[in-house]
Amino acid sequence: MTRPYQNIEVRPDGDVSCVCIRQRRLDEAAIHAVGTELLQLIDQDGCRRMVLSLGPGSLECLYSIFMAKLVSVQRRIQDRQGALVLCDVTPDVVTVFEACRLRTFFEFAPDRAAAVEAIRKKPFESRPGDQPGGTP
């Protein structure tokens, strides 16, 4: 994955893309930019296994818009028979997921290592042209 991203940091861990959001405070435009980059990671870079860290600490953003972007990312990765695990999610942010009735739509792990372990336990069928690291 050589694509430079401005709003997210991507660190490959084998066939799992570990993603962190660079800024803790996101206005509406930044939320859309993060969403666009996450979708590019899936669509253009072939990511099918993603660990997305929402920490450390809580994000400062419009959670309704942010949740909509995360739902889009989750659906896109599921359409490609992939998996997404969220990690480093504070109790306050979990409360937002619960209030939006999205707690069961996403899988959560306490930290990156646990998320990578959880995602590797999921069944995964490679498709023709797939290579390790999630990049076709």
Residue 3 lies in a domain: no
Q: What is the pLDDT of residue 135?
A: 36
Across the range 59-70, mean pLDDT stands at 90
Residue 134 lies in a domain: no
Domain that holds residue 102: 8-120
Give the pTM.
Answer: 0.87
Q: Which of 122, 131, 125, 130 has its CA nearest to residue 50? A: 122
The dihedral formed by the CA atoms of 63, 64, 67 and 73, expressed in degrees to the nearest 10: -120
What does the pLDDT look like over 37-62, one tens digit per residue? 999 999 999 999 999 999 998 888 88
Q: What is the pLDDT of residue 1?
A: 45
Residue 2 lies in a domain: no
Across the range 1-27, mean pLDDT stands at 90
Q: Long-range contact list for 20-29, CB < 8 A, 24+ apart?
A: 20/53, 21/52, 21/53, 21/54, 21/59, 24/57, 24/58, 24/59, 24/60, 25/59, 25/60, 25/61, 26/59, 26/60, 26/61, 26/62, 26/66, 27/61, 27/62, 28/62, 28/65
Q: How confident is the model at residue 70 (pLDDT cuts 50, 70, 90)?
A: very high
Q: What is the pLDDT of residue 131?
A: 41
- Cα 53 to its chain centre, rounded Å, is 7
The total of structural domains in the chain comes to: 1
Which residues is 16 bridged to in the sheet? 13
- CATH number, domain containing residue 37: 3.30.750.24
Residue 1 lies in a domain: no
What does the pLDDT look like over 81-134, one tens digit per residue? 999 999 999 999 999 999 999 999 999 999 999 999 999 998 765 544 444 344
Q: How confident is the model at residue 7 (pLDDT cuts 50, 70, 90)?
A: very high
Residue 79 lies in a domain: yes
- pLDDT surpassing 80 at residue 80: yes
Q: What is the pLDDT of residue 48?
A: 95
Residue 57 lies in a domain: yes
Higher pLDDT, 73 or 128: 73
Residue 92 lies in a domain: yes
Residue 86 lies in a domain: yes
